[in-house]
């Protein structure tokens, strides 16, 4: 009898045990008819976790999502252990984001610390943005939604909104050392080091990679960005905001997968999303055969990047204008602060583009291009653009300056 199963200690769920788990939790009763015939699908396509969709077979709109951390990196296997505590950071950040931006995340139901899992709204008809962009789909309002989500969540968790004692507690609550270390290594260190063993890249771009890794000026910028990542505690970040961390249905866009959440530099979230739009544009240089269609989609992606920034900036300024402490209402301070965030955004975007081409964790936009020669064309573009963004970030004052760097 499934109800007798005990979940008093961590164990990974399976297609067979997930329903028994739900039946053992009283919270489930409000969300699903637990006596009904339930369907279970494992839909995790990320690098780390198990994700189950559970639905009533006769009324599939009655469904929920169970996300559980495995004690290792799923894509690497048990040889790369990783504590399940990341589920704790994800659950707590999702709750915070839901408070600040309820329209832009799935609704959280409950979190089980022992089982390292969260149960949340199942976005059953939404699709992951990366896949949609690979299909060259136009997603209405994507950039604007990201700008709104980021302005709300970053402002509400910054020193502009929180009393300093609360802010200091937030930094401690989201120390997230293991996942921050993954980012530190995979984004800022390894791609710029010839000796890093986890780097993987197309043989056909090996010379480009050697050239990039030998560029002392670029390495200095990577070090500066890494230090900013390590030391700038501006706000609670999503921490891994690429296009695989957003799901869309029409004009409804939701941010998922915040297990990398920590208190860091605002430009990191903005930069990752921007970089992943640009990676899509690079990929379409070979994925899309027709020149006009290619140019149209590139300009659409850049437009979404611009819209993310301009929405973020306008919303953030509005919030700053209402900040309680008079310290923050100097217009000169506000301009300088946002310019700093923009420069970080551009620099982090460059780093992300390079690491997705050279480092351990790639993206399907590029890796999905089967022909290695064609793929190399897109990868070279990503490397060139990433390098330019990293080298020129500090000279950018407006988003239009940044756009001028994104031409090819």
* Closest CB 311 distance from ligand SR1, rounded Å: 24
Chain positions contacting Mg ion, by CB under 5 A: 46, 257
Of the candidate residues 204, 323, 361, 377, the single one contacting ligand SR1 (CB under 6 A): 361
Q: Which of residues 271-310 bind ligand SR1 (CB under 6 A)?
A: none
Report residue 78: phi and psi, to 5°: -70, -10
Of the candidate residues 90, 112, 156, 240, the single one contacting ligand SR1 (CB under 6 A): 240
**Residue 162 CB partners (closer than 8 Å, separation 6+):** 156, 170
How many residues sit in the footprint of ligand SR1 (CB under 6 A)? 9
Contact 307, 293 (CB under 8 A): no
Nearer to ligand SR1, 73 or 120 (CB): 73
Nearer to ligand SR1, 45 or 318 (CB): 45
Query: Is residue 323 part of the contact set for ligand SR1 (CB under 6 A)?
Result: no
* Closest CB 129 distance from Mg ion, rounded Å: 13
- 186 touches, from Mg ion, ligand SR1, none (C-beta below 5 to 8 Å by class): ligand SR1
- 361 touches, from Mg ion, ligand SR1, none (C-beta below 5 to 8 Å by class): ligand SR1
CA distances to 146, 248, 343, 368 from 315, in Å: 11, 22, 18, 36
Give the 3-state secondary structure of residue 37.
coil
* Closest CB 240 distance from Mg ion, rounded Å: 5
* Closest CB 285 distance from ligand SR1, rounded Å: 23
- 274 touches, from Mg ion, ligand SR1, none (C-beta below 5 to 8 Å by class): none
Contact 403, 306 (CB under 8 A): yes
Query: Is residue 182 part of the contact set for ligand SR1 (CB under 6 A)?
Result: yes
Nearer to Mg ion, 257 or 352 (CB): 257
Nearer to ligand SR1, 361 or 403 (CB): 361
* Closest CB 18 distance from Mg ion, rounded Å: 20
Instruction: Work out the end-to-end distance of the chain between its first and last CA atoms, rounded to an integer number of angstroms.
Output: 63
* Closest CB 134 distance from ligand SR1, rounded Å: 17
Nearer to ligand SR1, 187 or 369 (CB): 187
Query: Is residue 186 part of the contact set for ligand SR1 (CB under 6 A)?
Result: yes
Shortest-Cβ-distance residue relative to Mg ion: 257
Contact 116, 288 (CB under 8 A): no
Query: Is residue 364 part of the contact set for ligand SR1 (CB under 6 A)?
Result: no
Q: How far apart are CA 194 and CA 197, in angstroms?
A: 8
Q: How far apart are CA 334 and CA 182, in angstroms?
A: 32
For 65-79, give one letter per residue: b (16+ CB within 10 A) or e.
bbbbbbebbbeeeee
Q: Which of residues 24-83 bind ligand SR1 (CB under 6 A)?
A: 46-48, 73
- 170 touches, from ligand SR1, Mg ion, none (C-beta below 5 to 8 Å by class): none
DSSP symbols for 311-377: HHHHHHHHHHHT-SSGGGG-HHHHHHHHHHHHHHHHHHHHHHHHHHHHSS---HHHHT--SHHHHHH
Query: Is residue 189 part of the contact set for ligand SR1 (CB under 6 A)?
Result: no
Q: How far apart are CA 185 and CA 359, in angstroms?
A: 9
Contact 281, 272 (CB under 8 A): no
Nearer to ligand SR1, 188 or 316 (CB): 188
- 73 touches, from ligand SR1, Mg ion, none (C-beta below 5 to 8 Å by class): ligand SR1
CA distances to 159, 216, 245, 278, 327 from 168, in Å: 9, 36, 27, 35, 18
Report residue 177: phi and psi, to 5°: -65, -35
Give contact residues for ligand SR1 (rule: CB under 6 A). Answer: 46-48, 73, 182-183, 186, 240, 361
């Amino acid at each position: 009898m499934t109800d007798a199963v005990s979940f008093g200690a961590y164990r990974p769920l399976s297609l067979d045990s997930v329903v028994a788990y739900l039946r053992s939790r009283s919270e489930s009763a409000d969300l699903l008819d637990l006596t009904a015939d339930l369907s279970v699908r494992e839909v995790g396509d990320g690098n780390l976790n198990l994700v189950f969709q559970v639905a009533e077979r006769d009324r599939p709109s009655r469904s929920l999502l169970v996300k559980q951390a495995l004690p290792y990196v799923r894509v690497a296997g048990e040889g790369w252990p990783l504590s399940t505590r990341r589920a704790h950071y994800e659950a707590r950040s999702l709750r915070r984001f839901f408070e600040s931006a309820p329209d832009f995340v799935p609704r959280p139901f409950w979190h089980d610390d022992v089982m390292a899992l969260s149960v949340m709204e199942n976005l059953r008809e939404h699709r992951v943005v990366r896949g949609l962009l690979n299909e060259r789909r136009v997603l209405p309002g994507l950039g604007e939604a990201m700008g709104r989500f980021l302005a709300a969540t970053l402002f509400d968790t910054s020193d502009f909104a929180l009393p300093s004692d609360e802010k200091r507690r937030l930094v401690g609550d989201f120390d997230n050392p293991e996942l921050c270390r993954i980012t530190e290594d995979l984004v800022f260190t390894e791609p710029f080091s010839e000796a890093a063993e986890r780097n993987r890249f197309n043989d056909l771009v090996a010379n480009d990679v050697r050239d990039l890794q030998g560029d002392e000026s670029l390495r200095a910028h990577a070090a500066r960005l890494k230090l900013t990542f390590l030391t700038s505690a501006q706000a609670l970040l999503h921490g891994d905001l690429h296009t695989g961390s957003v799901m869309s249905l029409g004009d409804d866009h939701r941010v998922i997968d915040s297990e990398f959440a920590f208190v860091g530099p605002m430009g990191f979230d903005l930069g990752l999303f921007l970089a992943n739009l640009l990676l899509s544009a690079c990929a379409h240089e070979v994925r899309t055969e027709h020149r006009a269609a290619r140019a149209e989609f590139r300009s659409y992606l850049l437009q979404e990047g611009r819209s993310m920034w301009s929405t973020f900036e306008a919303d953030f300024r509005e919030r700053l204008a209402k900040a309680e402490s008079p310290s923050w209402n100097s217009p000169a301070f506000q301009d300088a602060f946002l310019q700093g965030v923009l420069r970080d955004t551009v620099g982090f975007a460059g780093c992300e583009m390079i690491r997705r081409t050279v480092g351990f964790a790639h993206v399907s936009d590029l890796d999905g291009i089967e022909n290695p020669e064609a793929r190399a064309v897109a990868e070279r573009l990503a490397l060139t653009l990433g390098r330019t963004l990293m080298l020129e970030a500090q000279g950018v004052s407006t988003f239009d300056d940044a756009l001028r760097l994104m031409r090819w």
